[in-house]
Amino acid sequence: MLSKQPCQLILALDLETKEAALAMLDRIGPSLPWVKIGLQLFTAYGPDFVREVADRGYKIFLDLKLHDIPNTVAKAVQSIATLPVELLTLHGCGGSEMLEWANRARNDHAPNLNLLAVTVLTSMDQAQLHAINVETSTERQVIHLADLSLKAGIQGLVCSSLELQPLRARFGPGPIIVTPGIRPKGSATDEQKRIMTPADAAKCGSSYIVVGRPILKAPNPAEAVQAIQAELNPSA
């Protein structure tokens, strides 16, 4: 049985400059609760930008995909604990020890922070996995990394929506599952290989969907947000 919590929309704020990002938030307004800040803007503007977006009333998903030796990742989590961040990514393929150290740092310094283990990037397909000597299927690799991550205490996962059903079947409604690679009908797929519509992702058990370009490139981003939210929760 899947979680009864409604699936929520997160805007991937993947823009070139701080000014462009804040202008986009001005255009969208307060109807969108969640914003994802990724490597591009975090590298350019750092923690102060995270605080500035949070001060506007948004919940922050910080998508840094941490992957390093256990001590370094744990120290990074400790540093991020000082920021108004509610979701943070790290790579599941960093291994059990790295994940366990990260979770201990989270428990010690930011118990309200949810760590999300990235399984297989949505830009990757079977051929690309084989190119890095991963011979198993995409689905098996996702389930393997999910199992390893959850056993290490991590609170949630990031995966393609195509893996939602097998993950929910195996792990139930408990873990947070965030799905990027979401494309409303008629949208360009860009470089994403494994995609799904918002409504289908919600039906399959996604906790949060991440949408970027279909909103950012829309003539009216606020209307695009509202359309996706209506698709996620048609009875609302």
Active site amino acids: 65
* Angstrom distance (rounded) from CA 131 to CA 116: 25
Environment class of 43 (CB within 10 Å of its CB; exposed 0-12, middle 13-18, buried 19+): exposed
Rounded distance between C-alpha atoms, residue 29 and residue 141, angstroms? 39
Question: What is the token pair recorded at 168?
Answer: 């929910």
Sign of CA dihedral 24, 66, 112, 200: positive
Contact 182, 164 (CB under 8 A): no
Strand partners, 156: 116, 176
Measured distance between the N- and C-terminal CA atoms of the chain, rounded to whole angstroms: 21
Q: How many residues does the structure list for the chain?
A: 236
Phi, psi of 64, rounded to the nearest 5 degrees: -105, -15
Q: How far apart are CA 114 and CA 90, in angstroms?
A: 11
